[in-house]
Amino acid sequence: MPWFKGNIHTHTTNSDGDSSPEHVSEWYKNHDYDFLVLSDHNHLTILEEAKKNQDIWPLLVPGEEITVRTIGTEAAALHINGIGISEVILPNSYESNIEAIEDVVSRVKNQNGLASINHPNYQWWVSSEDIKHAKVDPWGFEVFNGHMHANNEGSLNSMSTEEIWDDILSSGKFIYGIASDDSHHFTQEFSSSRSNPGRGWVVVNSKSLSVDEIINSFRIGEFYSSTGVELSEITTTEEKIKIKIKDGISKDKSKFTFRVIHENGVIFHEEEGQDLEIGTKGMKKYYRVVISSSQGTKAWTQPILL
């Protein structure tokens, strides 16, 4: 099945982005993205003319960033993407993040959509405890968010997004990891202090480039997340792992390190090279693979429960 590249978290002038939905869509098409979610805050941006403009825009998958922010008491503050929904979801007010996750995720699921917890470390809003204790499980969360204040790496006393991921998986709950741009700024200079596109994306293995097929593949974890490392093969089963770096990517002499992570975030195996082939014997609870390049970019495969 073919692979399709997409970004599922972007803003336009329908919320706090600096460019029109048309301009944003063209940026992604011009940079070889196959699909895109225009995820405006509490606004479902659906471009009726999307079908007519297939040649100049990527496939537009409907979505919204459901934005819960209680100003003042800050009882609950978090952002949840609803992907593949057909009607706008407006948040209620909530006493806690757990209550907000349960309500918003249920409403996304009621529309057969996929709910993702965005940038958990933005202002340190969402903890892994919030996600673990919610009675309704989100489909995914952002292991990488390209916004300059996303705090993906955590701190000495605050979990990185990867530590959050392992904490959730080790508790027995299952969640996918997403990389996204959360892009707001498409004009003026591109710099690390601005929220520009092109930083984090997902690559989906899907029968065809249609909204239904992309959502179907997302739902069963047929995708990987990336900030630059490209893969040509991912076989991850309960018995074995086989992963290959896309041919030609190492013309710049990049080196790649594969790390297989299992229960409690422990590194089970690591090696350097262009591919990884290993059995899963001895791995506990789950595994996931992170591939890091010497350029500082990464790819994350989705976890497999054992």
The residues binding Zn ion (CB under 5 A) are 65, 79, 118, 182
User: Running DSSP on this structure, what letter comes out for residue 264?
Assistant: G
Q: Which residue is nearest to Zn ion (CB)?
A: 79
C-alpha triplet 67, 192, 31: angle, nearest 5°: 80
Q: Which lies closer to Zn ion via its Cβ, residue 182 or residue 230?
A: 182
State the nearest-atom distance from the C-beta of 186 to Zn ion, in Å.
Answer: 14
User: Running DSSP on this structure, what letter comes out for residue 49?
Assistant: G
Integer CA distances (angstroms), 220 to 60, 139, 244, 303, in order: 20, 10, 21, 11
Q: Which lies closer to Zn ion via its Cβ, residue 54 or residue 124?
A: 124
Closest to 181 (Cα-Cα) out of 217, 226, 212 = 226
| Chain centre distance of CA 227 | 11
- The rounded distance, in Å, linking the Cα atoms of 201 and 8 is 7
Q: Which lies closer to Zn ion via its Cβ, residue 65 or residue 222?
A: 65
Q: Which lies closer to Zn ion via its Cβ, residue 64 or residue 65?
A: 65
Q: Which lies closer to Zn ion via its Cβ, residue 39 or residue 293?
A: 39
- The rounded distance, in Å, linking the Cα atoms of 271 and 257 is 6
Q: Which lies closer to Zn ion via its Cβ, residue 118 or residue 293?
A: 118
State the nearest-atom distance from the C-beta of 10 to Zn ion, in Å.
Answer: 8
State the nearest-atom distance from the C-beta of 291 to Zn ion, in Å.
Answer: 26
State the nearest-atom distance from the C-beta of 78 to Zn ion, in Å.
Answer: 8
State the nearest-atom distance from the C-beta of 12 to Zn ion, in Å.
Answer: 11
Each residue of 62-80: b (16+ CB within 10 Å) or e?
bbbbbbbeeeeeeebbbbb
State the nearest-atom distance from the C-beta of 187 to Zn ion, in Å.
Answer: 17
